[in-house]
Structure 1
Amino acid sequence: MALYVYSIATEGHPRRLDGLKGVGARPAPLRSVTAGPLSAVVSDISEEIRPKRRDLLVHQEVQERLMADGPVLPLQFGYIASDDDAVREVLDTNADGYLAALERLDGCAEYHLRVAQEDEEPLLRQILEDSPEARELNERIRAGDPDPQLPLALGELVAREVEARQESLAAGLVQALLPFAREHVVHPPTGSDFLNLSLLVPQEQKEDLLTAQANLVREIGGGVALRLAGPLPPYSFV
């Protein structure tokens, strides 16, 4: 029977799975497949698994339960193996790498920071104040200059300034938070975000990170939203 694979841990991890059911319309109990020093947490499945809300929540609950008792390598949602032997083969083949990764992640969790321009008005006003060229174009438009190129020129100039200032702010935020992380990954921004940052944070640095994030929110002021999520399974560092 096919298996849904949740995560990998050492054979000595407690893997407290009592009361947890797996993904799918007919969820099976969770169990372990062990090979040498490693174990994978799995459940039997007899269907194609799609990212439905219930199954996403189950996947996350399993990771959080396991993280509470020690380091794990959380797999992304949807990892399927053909059978127990296939899982054991992967564990055997990659044992050294998995053990090194588990040691690296020990005592850490992922924190995820997204930063977006929530209100552009303060930024646009600042650009008009700082840029003589933008200010001149804006004043000519407001005075009724009929040149049809003026709005386009002003729009392009402002767009370049917005991008440059957001890139500068994003770089500054990364540098401000790096002292609290063992590792970091900058992901491509999505939607209205201009920073999408994952931090691998040791437990002893958690409170310092939260304090630093709160201080940054106060320093930046209005118009920019900083959304910090965590502690999370360290997906970005597996």
Structure 2
Amino acid sequence: MADRARYLYAVTRGVTTADLAGRTGLDDAPLEVVPHRGLDAVVSDVDLDEFDEDALRKNLEDLAWLERVARGHDDVVRAVAELGPTAPLRLATVCLADAGVRRRLDEWHDGLVAALDRVEGRAEWSVKVVERDRAPATSGGERGDSTSPGAGAAYLLRKRQETEQRAQDEDAALRRADDVYHGLAEVAVAGRRLRPQDARLSGLTGTMTLNAAFLVDDEDADKFAGVAQELAGAAEGAEVLVAGPWPPYSFATLEEA
């Protein structure tokens, strides 16, 4: 039998192994809780043949493996978030035994307590603004006689006008994105602008001008969704996409974890 290790998914408070009965982690391993100093680490067993340092160096470059582990990791984090405040841990955080898990909780203790205090009773919402692709402007004059008097000047004028129009459209798009962000920030506890997603990854058609995460009090979720709907109606020419509630990945994950 391969050597086993403890895979850490998240840290929470007030959750026991009994609360997670029937739930499984990677490779259908039962979930367990390692309590320490008022914190509860949610873990499961994994094979070191797959998760030791050398194996991880190879596996993290395998997209199929990475997707499987990321989905399993996220499934556990979502399950834990239904039970209490949750600080998701970085993918493939592994300790050899429970003693190592407790050492990690000692090392990260103050940061974890602060993170859990920050997200308790709150959830993350994702908001994206995508500008619809506009058909390029055409001019009947371009099909005329390019050798006629004044044709060159007219062509340059059209090009300058097209450039100015593109600049105006881009400015308007950025203003729409700012309006959405600032409008939602007023009803959220915190907001964070993220890097716009590549269309090949998001599957969205158009130009993403805003990719943001907001931390919202659970009791304000309906208000947040209502404001988002109002802002979407005012964002003419753009689509406002709202998703959530989710575990607070953007507001509770420790950078050092």
TM-score of Structure 1 vs Structure 2, range by shorter chain: 0.7 to 0.9
**Counterpart among 45, 55, 58 of residue 72 in structure 2:** 58
Tell me the residue number matched to 1:9: 12
On the 8 A contact 1:141/1:151 being kept in 2, the answer is: no
Using the aligned pairs only, state the percent identity.
29
Tell me the residue number matched to 1:115: 129
Please state whether the residue corresponding to 1:21 is helix, strand or coil. Answer: coil
Q: Is residue 187 of structure 2 the alignment partner of residue 186 of structure 1?
A: no
Please state whether the residue corresponding to 1:229 is helix, strand or coil. Answer: strand
Q: Is residue 30 of structure 2 the alignment partner of residue 29 of structure 1?
A: yes
Q: Is residue 182 of structure 2 the alignment partner of residue 175 of structure 1?
A: yes
What amino acid does structure 2 have at the position aligned with 1:5? Answer: L
Q: Which structure 1 segments of 5+ residues have no match?
A: 126-136
Deviation of 1:140 after TM superposition, in Å, equals 6.1
**Counterpart among 206, 227, 231 of residue 241 in structure 2:** 227
Tell me the residue number matched to 1:129: none
Tell me the residue number matched to 1:161: 168
**Counterpart among 18, 22, 25 of residue 19 in structure 1:** 22
Taking structure 1 as the reference length, the TM-score comes to 0.80
Query: Structure 1 residues 78 and 146 mapped into 2: Cα distance closer, same or farther (>3 Å)?
Result: farther
Tell me the residue number matched to 1:132: none
Count of residues paired in the alignment: 220
C-alpha separation in 2, matches of 1:180 and 1:194: 21
C-alpha separation in 2, matches of 1:170 and 1:237: 21
Q: Which structure 2 segments of 5+ residues have no match?
A: 52-58, 60-64, 199-206, 253-257
C-alpha separation in 2, matches of 1:228 and 1:17: 30
On the 8 A contact 1:3/1:80 being kept in 2, the answer is: yes
Deviation of 1:162 after TM superposition, in Å, equals 2.9
Tell me the residue number matched to 1:130: none
Tell me the residue number matched to 1:128: none
What amino acid does structure 1 have at the position aligned with 2:220? Answer: Q
Taking structure 2 as the reference length, the TM-score comes to 0.75
Deviation of 1:41 after TM superposition, in Å, equals 0.7
